[in-house]
């Protein structure tokens, strides 16, 4: 493993690990606030217990996310000094604003954790809501910085030097809005289905059934709404990528040759040497319609770019297909959820399917970020800086990568252990599993 691959692998693993906790940190406070709102309105002990259980989970994940996010900020400078040298003066503003949002989030979560007996009830509830709002703002600022890497703006570039820097134009670049919308919806979708799937499994286990059914409903309401909006967001994002990063779109779709009436490819494996798709289902004119709303429109292929500027086609295409397939599955599950919610009946097969869907949203987020980052290669800043020209000259990067593999594995195991303890503690304290309830529909085959 050479130093470039080792540095890229370290960054990819760190980002892949952190994005999970960042997504949960952005969305779980809203679930917690919904349960807390029910407690303030109805005063049922179940609502309070659920609020406090999710509160502890938010605190744990906030700590893990803070650690992994801090590591990434150091890695940007240590692994990619060439990038920070040029990008720092241009795109520093959203990073500084992200730090401010993180500070607000930290203050709000402290107030919520320790303010139960010291604040008026609705003011206390507001601090929990602020945790989610600040987390969302933090995500927006980070994604804006990533959007700048995909559609650089706010400077003039000549002879390897940036001038006439405009931080506002850099932050509000052409990609920030569609990337932000897509990412925030993806986080709600992934965490909503993930949390709902965990509580569906605990519900079927037979302990604290009312508690877990309520938790499943709250989480899945957020996740299902986001899932139904994701196809619209994805369509808009795809059109923007076709306009601003046509090589990325061509790699994602396995579109090698520029053509009108371009087919939409479903599945398949790109044969890069032969510049064709193997084993794919093709819908004539489908890609032209998705990109230009016209089945006869021309779509730019990889043949318009020098071979050395092609992204890794196989990885980008397969990741894109995984993301789209999972999005379709979760959208279908969202429709089924609203049907069963209206009927207030929860077939056992649906609960089992929900458990299977638990990790799918997170997998889709990881696949989406592979498309975003790998699909931009060989550029670290699209059309401006190549990744290989910004890596650190310090040797031995592979040992750095191995060290972080071990550390993050330990951190993940510790996090799972803490969550298991929290759930077991709540179930033991709030043992309602075997008590009949008029509100507790039994799963039906």
pLDDT at 296 over 80: yes
pTM listed for this prediction: 0.86
Q: What is the pLDDT of residue 429?
A: 61
The model's pLDDT over 95-122, given as tens digits with 9 standing for 90+, comes to 888 888 888 888 888 898 888 888 888 8
Q: Which whole number is the average pLDDT over 263-281?
A: 86
Q: What is the pLDDT of residue 422?
A: 67
191 pLDDT tier (thresholds 50, 70, 90)? very high
Q: What is the pLDDT of residue 26?
A: 86
Q: Which whole number is the average pLDDT over 148-155?
A: 90
Least confident of 83-97, 127-141, 209-223: 83-97
pLDDT at 323 over 70: yes
438 pLDDT tier (thresholds 50, 70, 90)? very low
CA–CA dist 2, 89 (Å, integer): 29
Q: What is the pLDDT of residue 439?
A: 42
Least confident of 63-67, 310-314, 337-341: 63-67
430 pLDDT tier (thresholds 50, 70, 90)? low
Higher pLDDT, 45 or 36: 36
pLDDT at 426 over 70: no
Compute CA distances 44 → 48, 212, 430, whole Å: 7, 14, 12
Q: What is the pLDDT of residue 378?
A: 92
Q: What is the pLDDT of residue 434?
A: 41
Higher pLDDT, 140 or 440: 140
Least confident of 179-193, 263-277, 311-325: 263-277
Quote the mean pLDDT of the chain: 85
Q: What is the pLDDT of residue 331?
A: 94
pLDDT at 224 over 90: yes
154 pLDDT tier (thresholds 50, 70, 90)? confident
Q: What is the pLDDT of residue 436?
A: 42
The model's pLDDT over 47-98, given as tens digits with 9 standing for 90+, comes to 888 888 888 878 877 777 777 777 777 778 788 888 888 888 888 888 888 8
Q: Which whole number is the average pLDDT over 360-387?
A: 91
Q: Which whole number is the average pLDDT over 163-186?
A: 90
Highest mean pLDDT among 91-105, 151-165, 190-204: 190-204
pLDDT at 441 over 50: no
Q: What is the pLDDT of residue 322?
A: 93
């Amino acid at each position: 493993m050479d130093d470039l691959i080792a540095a890229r692998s370290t960054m990819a693993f760190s980002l892949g690990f952190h994005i999970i906790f960042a997504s949960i940190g952005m969305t779980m406070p809203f679930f917690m606030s919904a349960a807390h709102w029910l407690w303030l309105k109805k005063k049922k002990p179940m609502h309070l217990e659920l609020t406090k259980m999710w509160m502890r989970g938010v605190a744990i994940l906030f700590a893990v996310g803070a650690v992994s996010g801090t590591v990434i900020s150091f890695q940007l400078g240590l692994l990619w000094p060439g990038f920070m040298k040029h990008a720092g003066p241009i795109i520093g503003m959203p990073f500084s604003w992200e730090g401010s949002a993180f500070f607000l989030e930290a203050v709000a979560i402290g107030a919520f954790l320790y303010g139960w007996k010291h604040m008026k009830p609705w003011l206390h509830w507001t601090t929990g809501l602020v945790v989610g709002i600040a987390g969302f703002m933090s995500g927006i600022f980070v994604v804006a910085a990533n959007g700048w890497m995909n559609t650089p703006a706010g400077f003039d570039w000549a002879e390897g030097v940036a001038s006439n820097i405009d931080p506002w134009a850099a932050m509000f670049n052409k990609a920030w809005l569609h990337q932000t919308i897509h990412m925030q919806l993806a986080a709600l979708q992934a965490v909503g289905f993930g949390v709902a799937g965990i509580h569906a499994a605990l519900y079927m286990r037979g302990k604290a059934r009312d508690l877990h059914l309520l938790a499943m409903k709250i989480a899945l309401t957020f996740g299902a709404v986001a899932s139904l909006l994701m196809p619209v967001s994805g369509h808009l994002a795809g059109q923007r990528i076709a306009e601003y990063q046509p090589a990325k779109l061509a790699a994602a779709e396995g579109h090698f040759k520029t053509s009108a009436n371009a087919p939409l490819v479903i599945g398949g494996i790109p044969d890069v040497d032969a510049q064709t798709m193997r084993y794919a289902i093709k819908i004539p004119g489908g890609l032209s319609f998705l990109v230009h709303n016209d089945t006869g429109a021309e779509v730019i292929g990889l043949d318009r770019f020098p071979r050395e500027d092609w992204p890794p086609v196989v990885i980008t295409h397969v990741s894109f297909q995984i993301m789209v397939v999972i999005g379709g599955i979760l959208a279908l599950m969202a429709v089924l959820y609203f049907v069963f919610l209206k009927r207030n009946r929860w077939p056992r097969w649906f609960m089992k399917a929900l458990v299977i869907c638990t990790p799918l949203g997170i997998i889709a987020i990881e696949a989406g970020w592979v498309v975003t980052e790998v699909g931009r290669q060989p550029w670290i800043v699209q059309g401006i800086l190549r990744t290989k020209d910004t890596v650190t000259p310090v040797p031995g990067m592979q040992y750095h990568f191995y060290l972080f593999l071990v550390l993050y594995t330990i951190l993940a195991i510790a996090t799972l252990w803490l969550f298991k303890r929290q759930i077991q503690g709540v179930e033991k304290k709030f043992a309602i599993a075997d008590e009949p309830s008029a509100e507790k529909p039994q799963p039906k085959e």
